[in-house]
Chains A and B, each alone.
Chain A
Amino acid sequence: MPVVLETVNLEKHFGGIAAVAGVSLKVEKGARHALIGPNGAGKTTVINLLTGVLRPSAGRIVLEGEDITSLEAYRRVRRGLARTFQINQLFLDLTPLETVGLAISERMGLGGQWWRHVGTNSTVVAELVEILERFHLTDVMYARTGNLPYGKQRLLEIALAIACRPQVLLLDEPAAGVPEEERHEILATVAALPAHVTVLLIEHDMDIVFSFADRISVLVNGALFVDGPPEEVARDPRVKAVYLGESLDG
């Protein structure tokens, strides 16, 4: 399988601390790739570097053969790199309808239009309804996002990334903070993502990781520790040591 997203010796320092220290990661096209590691390992920092929220201190990021290291965040999205956030980043005063509709029209290059009303483009509306249905959001689509239950906000978080029609989707703990009984709904939507979409998943829950991923990378102290298929990673004594050590620490 060709590599769709690659980092080369990626580094990020905050003051004197190296949050990410020389990560070279390869994500193959169509992969279900999980990035795991103990708290503070630098997983979210890697995502922030990949998406352009942060600039790397050193190293390169390559998306489909093109260097995107210095590309602005919104341009990376337009090249097919979308993400969700570990902590919801939504437009609280807009409705899910407006939020997803906005993402679709931005993707189609209509976001700068000022001379026609929202909702006059039937292609946008059709896709909007399709996405809202797929993510079980039609019952709350007219409600203010800030008033939605947390589980629905989590679904909207993912729906919004999907509306960008990404080639590569970065999921930062999609089920974080969601009560047990609502988790399956979110995980089902993640599992139902089209096969051609490459997914890089950050997750703490090992059950989710091992049921979802076909490749796992373990990040410890900002560096890649182990990288391989799930069964290989599961057997690796060093990984066990890291996780065992962490659980002993509490």
Chain B
Amino acid sequence: MPSSLVEQVSKHLAARARWKPLEYAFWLAAVASVFLLPGRHLILTEIAWLALFALSLDLILGYAGIISLGHAAFFGLGSYTAALLAKHGIISEPVLALIVSGLAAAVLGFGTSFLVLRGSDLTRLMVTLGVALIMREIANQIPEITGGADGLQGVIVGPILGIFQFDIFGHVSYLYCLAVLFVLFLLARRIVYSPFGLSLRAVKGNSLRASSIGISVNARLVAIYTFAAFYAGVAGALLAQTTSFASLDVFSFERSADLLLVLIIGGTGYLYGGLIGAVIFKLMQDWIANLTPQYWQFWIGLVLVLIVLVGRERISLLTGGVRALAERVTRRFTPGATPPPYAPPLAGKGSEQLPGEGR
């Protein structure tokens, strides 16, 4: 019966967007950490804003396939905006300041999104890196506003919603960051399960085909890039608000590079990668720094190399290996047909490559 098939498909689609048990477990653990680890709230605060920052990168990298080595540009702008709003008493209420900071970053994201529409992964790496370097130098050149190399001192952040004052133990900070992370996570989750989110995955998979079913590839990329910049700006603002400080290092190359590592540790394209990666990254950094204060970067570097090499290998053995084998077998039995598994990214855009031209 066709009507029962319609029902079955509807159910299948509805079930996909439903919350999985592991997701409940993750957020319950996050809530539990508030009560069970009161002495660790300072590092948990850092984990929370880093997780939000990584979630932002996952939205563009994991879903739309835009790689970036300069995501700190948006983080940094959000950070300085929040610090300046608080310092000059323009908006002393943190939540409102947070939104304004995110919007400032989104404006920058929109403006620079047109630079990442075209070109290969390498072009995108260089362009995003360049934007972050430019932002850092601008902040460095206007010390009367940003405090230059000394950083922006004397930032006093008001109580949240006029009620909850930040404390030195990070209790309020952590709850605040966790709440913001959760709300923005819910929004991101809604988006990736929507038709818009699906179209992003299509663009990532094959932009040539995406445009041949009527998807405006560029408009979708601009939208998600701008949206992700908002998230990064909010993450930066959280850092500024919880530390009452902003310095040039919010724009640093290391921050963008670390972020990419966080996402590689956690994995891309399933929303939790950035969150899990942030937990592992921060705890590992903390643990190794306690163990060997002088050499922590050496150990962290080693661990990351191992994760990327061994981890990838393991994962591809489990999934990719089987897949590759299956594809090879199918291909063997289809004579004369050895299509490349993927079109090169953005093939046929700007270049004179001929997708679909056989011989």
Contacts and interface: CB of A to CB of B under 8 A. Distances in A.
B201 A105 contact: no
A212 B43 CA distance: 70
Interface in B306-359: 323, 326-327, 330-331, 333-337, 339-343, 348, 352, 354-359
Given A89-B356, A102-B198, A138 B5 contact: yes
A133 B197 CA distance: 25
Interface in A42-97: 44-45, 47-48, 51, 53-54, 72-75, 77-78, 82-83, 85-94, 97
14 contacts: A44-B357, A77-B213, A78-B214, A85-B212, A85-B355, A94-B202, A97-B9, A103-B213, A118-B17, A118-B194, A120-B13, A149-B334, A160-B213, A164-B213
Given A74-B212, A106-B195, A118-B197, 14 more contacts: A40-B359, A74-B217, A87-B339, A89-B206, A94-B202, A103-B213, A107-B213, A112-B195, A116-B194, A117-B14, A118-B195, A129-B2, A147-B326, A163-B213
A130 B9 CA distance: 11
A83 B208 CA distance: 12
A110 interface: yes
Nearest to A204: B358
B205 A117 contact: no
Contacts of B215: 74, 102, 106, 111
B195 A128 contact: no
Nearest to B227: A114
B297 interface: no
A129 B9 contact: yes
Contacts of A89: 206, 208-209, 212, 343, 355-356
A102 B357 contact: no
Contacts of B209: 85, 89-91, 160
B256 interface: no
A28 B198 CA distance: 36
B10 A106 contact: no
A90 B357 CA distance: 16
B236 to A, nearest CB: 24
A110 to B, nearest CB: 5
Contacts, number: 204
B13 A125 contact: yes
A98 interface: yes
Contact of B354 (A44, A117, A122): A44
A39 interface: yes
Interface string A123-146: 001101110010000100110101
Contacts of A176: 337, 358
Contact of A94 (B6, B201, B219, B220): B201
B144 to A, nearest CB: 41
A77 to B, nearest CB: 4
A142 B12 contact: yes
A119 B10 contact: yes
A113 interface: yes
Interface in A145-178: 146-147, 149-150, 160-161, 163-164, 172-173, 176-178
A179 interface: yes
Contacts of B342: 92
B227 to A, nearest CB: 9
A181 to B, nearest CB: 11
A48 B211 CA distance: 12
Contacts of B202: 91, 94, 99, 102
Contact of B195 (A47, A53, A110): A110
A177 to B, nearest CB: 3
Contact of A102 (B17, B195, B339): B195
B40 interface: no
B358 A87 contact: yes
A115 B190 contact: yes
A14 B359 contact: no
A161 B208 CA distance: 13
Contacts of B17: 117-119
Nearest to A93: B205
A54 B195 CA distance: 28
Most A C-beta atoms less than 10 A away, residue of B12, B196, B216, B358:
B358
B213 A146 contact: no
Given A97-B12, A117-B193, A119-B13, A91 B205 contact: yes
Contacts of B191: 114
Contacts of A113: 194-196
